[in-house]
Amino acid sequence: MPFSVSNRLSALPPYPFVELDRMKREAMERGVDIINLGIGDPDQPTPDIIIDALTEAAHNPANHQYPLGSGLTDFRREVADYYERQHAVSLNADKEAGALIGSKEGIAHLPLAFINPGDVVLFPDPGYPVYQSATLFAGGIPVAMPLLKENDFLPDLDAIPQDVLQRTRLMFLNYPNNPTAALATMEFFEKVVRMAKQYGFIVAHDAAYLDIVFGAKKALSFLSVPGASDVGIELHSLSKTFNMTGWRIGFAAGHPDLVSGLMAVKANIDSGVFNAVQRASIAALRNYDKLFPSIVSVYEGRVKVLAEGIRSLGWTDFTTPQATFYVWVRNRGNRSSLEMTRTLIEECGIVTTPGTAFGPSGEGYFRIALTTNEDRLREACKRMENAGL
Ligand SMILES: *Cc1c(COP(=O)(O)O)cnc(C)c1O
């Protein structure tokens, strides 16, 4: 008997990678040595301090039972300490912080807690696809906010029509941004807070790359903006900061009603994060200053190699990233995103992501993920040079 999926699931936009996956498979079957700059998943291992803390916690039977709803008190306190130390944000660990099974889980469940059918949800284009799918699952109406180079990849808030703003219940933002690597300014965030108050919408800031910033610079936590805690929730993660994507842990922080609404949805769907993983994450956050500089300096080195490498080949229409591990490059020679990505696979054995995979405003761009070592990045540049790119 054949079964078809729900209207909810079939309403999602089609999977954009079908043709690329086929090309990648074909290249691999031909025996091509593929350089994968496609996936945004750190290649470095999780630091030993964190693994050791997990091992110890896993041996403690107290950690074997169901986790508490919004996470261990110790974990939430550690999250509050992190915000205080790194971002000068004071949180009430009991009411304003909760554990997530990765920030993706929080993003996916937030609309179920706050969106009624017909409510508008604003989301960045290009952007992480989950904002849109989560909105559709909740019966909301996703409305794209284009991120354009002429606006430094910040949405043009004045371009959002009044009638859309009046129906808006939630705005997703993500800075440092995937895929453009842009950073938000205080001025931009302040304007978001003003508008959220005026129109009564929630701001959900995806902070997955909040820590991945180079040099002395710091990225702004949305919660550090005056008035943001009245309207906002931040969804953060240990995944990218500590090379822990497989561990599945993140956290929500912000307005107590927003945190508790999200936690109420979760209570009906999942049963939280394995306590031993929460204990290991406490060790990670506590050792931030010891662990993090060497993690971020790896990306800083790679950015330099790749940016100098492609610039010397004449690829100049991109900004050297100050944050994240992505380079968002404008195609040369009027190629579409898909054509560019196809050429890189077929002529150079290099996998990248077409800008359109992140939304229509990504047309004309491709994303390079710096999740492979400097030698391979140099090799990638050499192959591009040999192919006359
Ligand atoms: C990686 C990523 C996430 C999800 O990370 P988790 O592993 O679920 O914490 C969320 N948003 C963006 C923009 C990402 O790139």
- pLDDT for 76-124, tens place per residue? 999 999 999 999 999 999 999 999 999 999 999 999 999 999 999 999 9
Residue owning tokens 């996956």: 21
**How many A from CA of 48 to the centre of ligand 1?**
22
pLDDT of res. 276: 98
**How many A from CA of 178 to the centre of ligand 1?**
9
> Average pLDDT, whole number, for the chain?
96
**How many A from CA of 352 to the centre of ligand 1?**
18
233: CATH: 3.40.640.10
- The phi-psi region of residue 162 (left if phi > 0; otherwise alpha if psi is between -120 and 50; otherwise beta) is alpha
Write out the residue range of the structural domain in which residue 39 sits. Answer: 7-45+292-386
**How many A from CA of 31 to the centre of ligand 1?**
32
pTM: 0.96
Q: Helix H segments across 152-274?
A: 162-167, 186-199, 256-267
Q: Are 271 and 145 part of one and the same domain? A: yes
* Pocket lining: 208 vs ligand 1, CB cutoff 6 Å: yes
CA–CA gap between residue 89 and residue 264 (Å, rounded):
24
* Pocket lining: 178 vs ligand 1, CB cutoff 6 Å: yes
pLDDT digits (tens, 9 = 90+) for 47-82: 999 999 999 999 999 999 999 889 999 999 999 999
Q: Are 255 and 322 part of one and the same domain? A: no
Question: Are 355 and 366 contacting, i.e. CB atoms less than 8 angstroms apart?
Answer: yes
Q: Are 163 and 16 part of one and the same domain? A: no
pLDDT digits (tens, 9 = 90+) for 280-298: 999 999 999 999 999 999 9
Last residue of a domain, one of 224, 255, 289: 289
Q: Are 106 and 166 part of one and the same domain? A: yes
Q: Are 21 and 154 part of one and the same domain? A: no
**How many A from CA of 88 to the centre of ligand 1?**
23
Residues 106-115 as b/e (b if ≥16 CB within 10 A, e otherwise) read bbbbbbbbbb
* Pocket lining: 176 vs ligand 1, CB cutoff 6 Å: no
* Pocket lining: 353 vs ligand 1, CB cutoff 6 Å: no
Number of domains in the chain: 2
Inside any domain, residue 335: yes
pLDDT of res. 16: 67
Inside any domain, residue 351: yes
Q: What is the 3 state secondary structure string of 201-215?
A: CEEEEECCCCCCECC
CA–CA gap between residue 222 and residue 210 (Å, rounded):
10
Q: Are 198 and 326 part of one and the same domain? A: no
pLDDT of res. 13: 81
Please, what's the largest Cα pairwise distance for the chain? 61
pLDDT of res. 216: 81
Residue owning tokens 């090799």: 379
* Pocket lining: 352 vs ligand 1, CB cutoff 6 Å: no
Q: Are 149 and 203 part of one and the same domain? A: yes
Query: Ligand 1, atom 11: nearest CA belongs to which residue?
Result: 208
Q: Are 144 and 283 part of one and the same domain? A: yes
Inside any domain, residue 178: yes
Inside any domain, residue 2: no
**How many A from CA of 40 to the centre of ligand 1?**
9
Residue 14 has pLDDT above 90, yes or no: no
291-292-297 Cα angle (round to 5):
120
Inside any domain, residue 1: no
Q: Which helix (H) or strand (E) holds 181?
A: none
Last residue of a domain, one of 249, 268, 289: 289
* Pocket lining: 239 vs ligand 1, CB cutoff 6 Å: yes
CA–CA gap between residue 364 and residue 354 (Å, rounded):
8
Q: Are 248 and 183 part of one and the same domain? A: yes
* Pocket lining: 87 vs ligand 1, CB cutoff 6 Å: no
CA–CA gap between residue 252 and residue 318 (Å, rounded):
32
* Pocket lining: 174 vs ligand 1, CB cutoff 6 Å: yes
CA–CA gap between residue 205 and residue 175 (Å, rounded):
8
CA–CA gap between residue 250 and residue 284 (Å, rounded):
12
pLDDT digits (tens, 9 = 90+) for 141-183: 999 999 999 999 999 999 999 999 999 999 999 999 999 999 9
Question: Are 141 and 118 contacting, i.e. CB atoms less than 8 angstroms apart?
Answer: yes
* Pocket lining: 102 vs ligand 1, CB cutoff 6 Å: yes
pLDDT class of 243 with cuts at 50, 70, 90: very high
**How many A from CA of 238 to the centre of ligand 1?**
9
